[in-house]
Amino acid sequence: MNRDIFSLEGKNALVTGANTGLGQAIAIALADAGADVALIGRSAPEETEERIKALGRRTAVVMADLSDTSVVSSVIADSETQLGPVDILVNNAGIIRRQDALEFSEDDWDDVLATNLKVPFFLAQAAAKSMTKARRAGKIINVASLLSIQGGIRVASYTASKSGLAGLTRLLANEWASQGINVNAIVPGYFATNNTEALHNDAERNRQILDRVPAGRWGDPDDLGGAAVYLASKASDYVHGVLLPVDGGWLAR
């Protein structure tokens, strides 16, 4: 196989929530494959920026509150001004709120749906408009969740948002495949990140999770890099609407 099929040389990627965790690992993996990367979020991604520059790639930093759709047009415009046309969008930024469904608040519902579902849709829309206007192909990768497939407990708005993101991935793939835009999603399993710190620190839940994961460990953010590069590269040109689990075998159990 021609290894260049996985190369991202000459491509510009936009990754939301790239300051830590899964987003940071994805951004670095894309840069390592040759892409220049725009890092989008509320917190300065200093470490991510340094590591990408050490790989010899360009970066752009766009500070934005990704709970508000008013930033969408400027995020795409600022990224393209600094790097050039966006070829790859990774919708990674997300938040989670935990509470029993009987007590779940409307604010916690609205905040999570806005960040995890509403803004990713409009970012994808803006990126796709840019791609189609320029008559160029593109890749959109949503970061979904095991709870796009399963129900979970005590995370009503998170489960709803990630289930919605899975459905949205399929819909956008159906609409945009003919435009040369691939829309797919990565489905991470249990990864050691800020969002899962409460579970990781709960001895009982930690044991229950590890007992079910065939790989016998929590995922490391770097474990997502290969899936992200695959879905961003020419290797996945005929892949549309897929939910790709990277879960240590959780869903196979």
Find out whether 130 and 176 touch, Cβ atoms under 8 Å: no
Active site (annotated) includes residue 238: no
Joined together, the tokens standing for residue 79 give 């990224």
DSSP state of 219: B
Look at residues 126, 48, 116 and name the one whose alpha carbon lies nearest to residue 86. 126
Instruction: Please give the Cα distance from 122 to 108 (Å, whole number).
Output: 21
Q: Burial, 6: exposed, middle or buried (Cβ in 10 Å; 0-12, 13-18, 19+)?
A: middle
3-state secondary structure of 98: coil
Instruction: Please give the Cα distance from 32 to 226 (Å, whole number).
Output: 11
Q: Which residue type, as a one-letter code, is found at position 101?
A: A
* Phi, psi torsion values for 231, nearest 5 degrees: -70, -20
CA 151 to chain centre: 20
Instruction: Please give the Cα distance from 39 to 128 (Å, whole number).
Output: 18
Catalytic residues: 158
